[in-house]
Amino acid sequence: MVEVWPAPTPVATINAVCPVPGSKSESNRALVLGALGDGPSRLSGVLEARDTELMIAGLRHLGVRIQLDHDEAVVTPPEHFVPAKIDCGLAGTVARFLPPLAALSGGECSFFGDPKMSERPIAPLLDGLRQLGASCSSEHVPFSISAPDGLTGREVRIDSSGSSQFISGLLLSAARFPNGLVLHHVGDSVPSLPHIEMSVSMLAQRGVRVSNAGMTWTVEPGTISSLDQRIEPDLSNAAAFLLAGVITGGRVTVPAWPSKTTQPGDLILGVLDKVGAHSELTKDGLSAWSSEDLSGVDLDMSSASELTPVVAALAVFCNGTTRITGVGHIRGHETNRIEAIVDELNAIGVTASELADGIQIEGIGSHGSLSPRRPFKTYADHRMVHLGALLALKCSNLEVEDPKAASKTMPDFVERWTKMVNAE
């Protein structure tokens, strides 16, 4: 029996201060780099959610010692990684960041996950590991990997147009490869480049220099230094809360928003500006609001495709047409997000259609009405839960299926959202 959540509709504008937990992207990168470091690393603000739990479990199976105290983690690397069986769940970061590290164990490591994980692309990463000297049993999850003679290669050519995580996964471990890494991307444009920039920046903080020339990244072999780090709030999750203020004509503030960041979620500020909303960064955090009608626009979201579902919700309440492009690769995310968004918007009376690399949405404006004809499906996708919650702000009686899918990156999303909407 699928759980159904009667997502709340506010009786007035939403005015709230909404802290959000740590970034999943930063948390899982920091955990991997801590495992590869030259000594213990202390991490604070680590996200407590399914994706990070899976990462921690996987690293522990590989021999890494991780001491946890709520959102504090002390990561102590092992003298040698050990062969392991690793559950990826539905976490792309686990499936794509741990195989290069696992190949350093010298034995056979197996990876498995949720049924939908087998549909998520991973073949280019495994091909890259083969070019380095590893053996891989499959082109998708489940698979096994081994490199008994070590990763003796250096130069790799892969097509990363399906996910920037293929590049990040190899870069994070590259300094520990005997001959380092020269990684060439061959293919269409790489999506979500800020995520690669995040990986490069976090490596630099640990003494690893990544040289970049066009679509080639080079890492020399060497030490990855241990580092104590405070994880930033998850700005992609925060975007949903900010948009609640904008959509209802109120004002929402997210504390501790960084003034400088590599998180793609920060690009929501440019979206707000383009549609006619406002934002302001102060010592209290990042505030977003709107006191006037919003306008549909053309948006290239290739650098922040994970924002597509919440931006689609914003587009519904704009006047005119919004075209979200540059996100064709999200058909291979937790679900086919383009198809899912279009189907669910059409189901509540919004005119939406698929584009080759995105979505076109005909907005209903701030005073339009929506009519749910069935529960809102979320397809086991945390970002679709966010979309349903935002639509419910102006669509009373909207029931959102499987709200626990949000636990992938925010286990208490429903509680936080309800508190904000009901001004509790």
Annotated binding site: 24-25, 29, 92, 120, 163-165, 192, 306, 333, 337, 383, 408
Q: How far is residue 13's CA from residue 120's CA, in Å, rounded to a whole number?
A: 39
Nearest Cα residue to 312 out of 409, 212, 243, 238: 243
CB 326 within 8 A of CB 191: yes
Say which amino acid occupies 403: P
- The tokens describing 122, both together, are 């991973």
Buried b (16+ CB within 10 A) or exposed e, 287-313: bbbbeeebbbbebebbbbbbbbbbbbb
Strand order in the sheet with 210-213: 155-158, 181-185, 216-219, 210-213
Count CB neighbours of 149 within 10 A: 10
CB 312 within 8 A of CB 330: no
Buried b (16+ CB within 10 A) or exposed e, 21-39: bbbbbbbbbbbbbbbbbee
3-class state of residue 82 by DSSP:
coil
The residues that bridge with 75 in the sheet, in sequence order, are 41, 66
Binding-site annotation: residue ranges for 3-phosphoshikimate:
24-25, 29, 163-165, 192, 306, 333
3-class state of residue 57 by DSSP:
helix
3-class state of residue 183 by DSSP:
strand
Q: How far is residue 79's CA from residue 308's CA, in Å, rounded to a whole number?
A: 42
* Catalytic hit among 26, 232, 306, 401: 306
- The tokens describing 303, both together, are 């650098």
Q: How far is residue 331's CA from residue 162's CA, in Å, rounded to a whole number?
A: 9
- The tokens describing 328, both together, are 């064709």
Residues counted in the chain:
424
CB 316 within 8 A of CB 304: no
Catalytic residue list contains 26: no
The residues that bridge with 355 in the sheet, in sequence order, are 358
Kind and range of the H or E element at 194? helix 193-205
Kind and range of the H or E element at 43? strand 41-44
Q: How far is residue 233's CA from residue 18's CA, in Å, rounded to a whole number?
A: 11
Active-site residue set: 306
